[in-house]
Amino acid sequence: MQAIETIIGRMAAKGDVPALFWNDREYSYAEFMALVAVWRDRLAADGIGQGTVCGFLGEYSPQVCALIFALMQSKAILVPFTAAIGNELPEFMEIAGVEYLFRFDSADDWTLEYFENSQNNELIVSFLARGVPGLVVFTSGSTGKPKGILQDCERVMKKFVLERESWRTLLFLMLDHFGGFNTLLSTFAYGGTAVCLPERSQETVCRVIEKSRATLLPTTPTFINLLIASRCYQNYDLSSIRLITYGTEVMPATTLHKLRDIFPNARVKQTYGLSELGVLRSKSESDDSVWVKIGGAGFEVKIVDNILWIRSEANMVGYLNAPSPFDVDGWMCTGDQVELNGEYMRILGRKSEMINVGGQKVFPAEVEAVLLEAENIRDASVVGVIHPVMGHIVTARVSLHTAEEQRGLVERLRKHCMERMAKYKVPVRFTVVAESDQRTARFKKSRQVDG
């Protein structure tokens, strides 16, 4: 546990440096580490220790964040949950073999439940021999069936041992996915301030940025587009933001350019990571470019038939309920199709989302980017629908700033698309939907291939 203890020791030395911003109040590292100590004693009293599979359901808060570090020091298996998983909680708990579950409310109060009949997964049983804490997160994968991913916390924390610049980081990415957990760890490991959100509406995000003077905003292209469409940023001082990172999905170039107008003081950086592999170091070609270089110490990258493959020292231990995705040499196919330009690549989208129109490839993000350039379009999502002759046809769902007559809208959008891309990429059907139908609870683009 050398990496974990090194980082916790560094945190303990921070004293009065702000560690957390929650409900308009700052907590120092001294206060936060005192909370961690209280949780360590509480866990020991409840019989939660090395190898215990402990779930916790809540949002970022002083108690939840302190519990995370106490569980790691206790060498438990951490299983974070948020309300976003909804009715999937019992299934996820069964896959992970959760023995204890802490539930936190909005006031940061908690309750504890014990599940006596829970049985550990075989992979977790074999993992316990390492004597280090573990982390279980879930991903739907391309099939939609939830897969439990087991990570070694010591291995995850290792990359944070070398101290880097600290940030006042808005914890936007959710706790129960690897990207959010990684952001939380890096914030504390570098002595930064974790800025907690009561909820993720555009208005609340802007308000908390202003109040906390956050300097780093890690987010998604879908949320950025929602923020642009809402125009609520005009009512707040967001000048403290110095860095915006985005990932998890393809960024439309138009959205990226508009983002620079809202945050003129901020650098913009594309990130790349997978729960199975960790988060890679990345460098955008420029602030207004969607071309990125990824890799860094502990990661190897290769392109096979325009598909990105990665090998990582921080590979997951394995799936709890699915075969390993790694080949015999430790490489994993990400499924992302890319274009290369020297050292930089442009991610076109998942091969599984590609629409095959009479043998021609169409990536939804490319069509969506064109639609977002059209007048009165608030948001857009593109899906393929099975066609008996063409294989698939392209269809689009659009959300509008103001209501518009359907026939005129379709004619206008079709003309707009025909002028900017090949005919086979132009949507055959346009459907007007509510903005909320365009995204998931995790602020990612909602797409599905019908039929």
Question: In which element (H, E) is residue 217 found?
Answer: strand 216-219
Q: Running DSSP on this structure, what letter comes out for residue 250?
A: P
| Residue stretches of the chain with pLDDT short of 70 | 117-119, 140-144, 248, 359, 389, 447-451
Reference 323, options 123, 58, 90, 63; nearest CA is 123
- Per-residue pLDDT tens digits for 207-251: 999 999 999 999 988 888 888 888 899 999 999 999 999 876 777
With tokens 């930064």, the residue in question is 192
Residue type, 350: R
Residue 143 has a pLDDT of: 47
Letter string b/e over residues 154-176, b meaning 16 or more CB atoms within 10 A of that residue's CB: bbbbbbbeeeeebbbbbbbbbbb
CATH of domain 2-158: 3.40.50.12780
Residue 187 has a pLDDT of: 97
Write out the DSSP string of 292-359. EEEE-TTEEEEEETTEEEEEETT--SEESSS---B-TTS-EEEEEEEEEETTEEEEEEEGGG-EEETT
Is there a shared CATH topology between the 289-351 domain and the 354-438 domain?
no
- CATH T-level topology, domain 289-351: Luciferase; domain 3 (2.30.38)
Residue 271 has a pLDDT of: 85
**Beta-carbon neighbour count of residue 57 at 10 Å?**
23
Residue 279 has a pLDDT of: 82
Residue 170 has a pLDDT of: 97
Letter string b/e over residues 77-104, b meaning 16 or more CB atoms within 10 A of that residue's CB: bbbbbbebbeeebeebbebbbbbbbbeb
Residue 111 has a pLDDT of: 97
Residue 451 has a pLDDT of: 41
CATH of domain 354-438: 3.30.300.30
- The SS3 assignment for 252 reads coil
Q: Running DSSP on this structure, what letter comes out for residue 85?
A: G
Q: How far apart are CA 332 and CA 280, in angstroms?
A: 14
pTM over 0.95: no
Reference 282, options 260, 265, 299; nearest CA is 299
Burial status of residue 243 (CB atoms within 10 A of its CB: 0-12, 13-18, 19 or more): middle
CA 169 to the chain's CA centroid: 14
What would the two tokens of residue 232 be? 């609520």
Residue 142 has a pLDDT of: 45
Helix 253-262 and helix 221-230: axis angle, to 10°?
A: 60
Where are the domains positioned within the chain?
2-158, 289-351, 354-438
